Amino acid sequence: MNAPRVTGPAHRRTLPAVWRHGMKVASVAREIPEEAPLALTFHRETYAVMMGTPADLEDFAVGFALTEGIVADAGEIAALEVLEHGQGIELRMELAAPRLAALTRRRRRLAGPTGCGLCGLDSLAEAVRQPPAVPAGGDVTADAIASALRAMEPLQRLNAMTHAVHAAAFWTAARGIVALREDVGRHNALDKLAGALARGGQRAADGMVLLSSRVSIEMVQKAAMIGAPVLVAVSAPTAHAVRLAEAAGMTLVAVARRDGFEVFCGAERIMTEARAHVA
């Protein structure tokens, strides 16, 4: 598996007082996740500031640039630095000339008359933008979905310690779980996974993305931007997320538990064992 890399401390130990039935009973050691401001900058201009877990930050930067459509390929990021400042961490990126020009035009289009950033009708359209259609193919069996979810759980090491972070993983039939990334933010976890796949030369079209979180519209957008045909989540989707997944030709599986799952769109990719043997 593509192993995660910690850039800074991802968690720390605390000693909270435990109360039960209105009385203090003990103090116990508990690990809690770290959270830091992460500034994503392009040519030293800030594009976004996110709160996130300070681990796998190169993956996060590359994945964010890909899932937000700032670049189409990781190779279009000419340089990437992770710089620690007193207030947080800067993920400083330099883009190839054509991509920089496109980003400049995009920023001008989205800037409102007050200079507040995402304003007006263009910004509303950006928030619900239709991602490209995902590739055809990518059929999976019900047993494969169940086994992928079982394999994902023990790999969520930060969550096992803290019970406070989300995970995004990628599974293929040939290799099982290829990569898994965790973060206090579910969007960040998916961006980190997208970056890990791109940096490792792994196509998202070759397997399925697994989420420990609910499925909002942004999660569908990000998964579609990297070409993932199958998205599986343990919690339910929003109605808008289902509409977007359907429009992108994606298979959206949610409420995925040990005893089964629900397919909200793209059911044609889910095979029975009998059909899998015939294929």
Q: Which two tokens stand for residue 102?
A: 């496109």
Strands (E), the chain: 11-14, 17-20, 23-27, 30-33, 36-42, 45-52, 77-84, 89-95, 140-141, 166-172, 176-183, 208-211, 230-233, 251-257, 260-265, 270-271
- Long-range contacts for 260-264 (Cβ within 8 Å, ≥24 apart)? 260/142, 261/142, 261/145, 261/146, 261/232, 264/237
End-to-end alpha carbon distance in the chain = 28
Cross-sheet strand order for the sheet of 45-52? 45-52, 36-42, 89-95, 77-84
Q: What is the sign of the dihedral through the CA atoms of 191, 13, 29 and 20?
A: negative
**105: Cβ contacts below 8 Å, ≥ 6 apart:** none
265 flagged as catalytic: no
Output phi, psi for 49, to 5 deg.
-125, 120
Measured from the Cβ of residue 236, the count of other Cβ atoms closer than 10 Å reads: 13
Measured from the Cβ of residue 209, the count of other Cβ atoms closer than 10 Å reads: 24
Which is the catalytic residue, given 96, 116, 133, 160?
A: 116
- CA distance readout (Å), 7 to 29, 53, 67, 155, 268: 24, 9, 21, 19, 41
Which residues have a catalytic role annotated? 116
